[in-house]
A and B are shown apart, each in its own frame.
Chain A
Amino acid sequence: DSGVTQTPKHLITATGQRVTLRCSPRSGDLSVYWYQQSLDQGLQFLIQYYNGEERAKGNILERFSAQQFPDLHSELNLSSLELGDSALYFCASSVSGDLGQPQHFGDGTRLSIL
């Protein structure tokens, strides 16, 4: 058990809809990362937060947004969903997000767009 909790585990929705994925980091970790794993692109970094502030941005679409709340949990919002957004979405956390720190991954949210 990594200590990182992601909900829901599975999400099925339709094109055009909006969903929110939730992540609670490991106790004591201040940094949260969001990653997307799709069949064609593999694992890709989306966005990183540290103590409530955005720290780094990767291949995140404009239709996607995220935030980290004062209690350090994070939410990834996906809107105007397209079939290609079907993927596994992982959250990971680390103590501060600096160099030399391992990341602890949640079990992922599997998003299926019908």
Chain B
Amino acid sequence: KNEVEQSPQNLTAQEGEFITINCSYSVGISALHWLQQHPGGGIVSLFMLSSGKKKHGRLIATINIQEKHSSLHITASHPRDSAVYICAVSRGSQGNLIFGKGTKLSVKP
């Protein structure tokens, strides 16, 4: 079993829909990261959080440490949000990341 599990693997939405991507982890963590990988391959860091909730524009990330679960929400989705969203965790005293397998999001106009 992977230490970081994401669901769903694939997600297709209509423009304007509210989207939720889930991430569960089975190990103790120091922080959880949400990353976005564009079709061209580049990776952008969206959020890093260790508790509570963070918001940036139409993106919201939440984490529940007790339940070892995080969600990434996208409000009013747009075709430009189409990408792979990757959940990753850092553990212990080191910053290196352990990654989930990603959620491929496709937003149709």
Contact = CB atoms under 8 A, between A and B. Distances in A.
Interface in B21-67: 30-31, 33, 35, 40-45, 48, 50
A73 interface: no
Contacts of B45: 102-105
Interface string A70-103: 0000000000000000001010101001111111
A2 to B, nearest CB: 7
Nearest to B43: A105
A83 B86 CA distance: 26
Contacts, number: 65
Contact of A48 (B44, B86, B88, B95): B95
B78 interface: no
Interface residues of B, number: 25
Interface residues of A, dominant DSSP: strand
Nearest to A46: B96
A44 B99 contact: yes
Contacts of A45: 96-98
A105 B35 CA distance: 10
Contacts of A25: none
B95 A43 contact: no
A108 B42 contact: yes
Nearest to A96: B95
Identify which of B30, B33, B97 gathers the most chain A CB atoms within 10 Å of its CB: B97
Nearest to A43: B99
Given A43-B86, A99-B90, A100-B31, A56 B44 contact: no
30 contacts: A35-B97, A42-B99, A42-B101, A43-B86, A43-B88, A44-B99, A45-B97, A45-B98, A48-B94, A56-B94, A90-B43, A92-B43, A97-B94, A97-B95, A98-B93, A98-B95, A99-B31, A99-B93, A99-B95, A100-B30, A100-B31, A101-B48, A101-B95, A102-B33, A102-B45, A103-B97, A104-B45, A105-B43, A105-B45, A108-B42
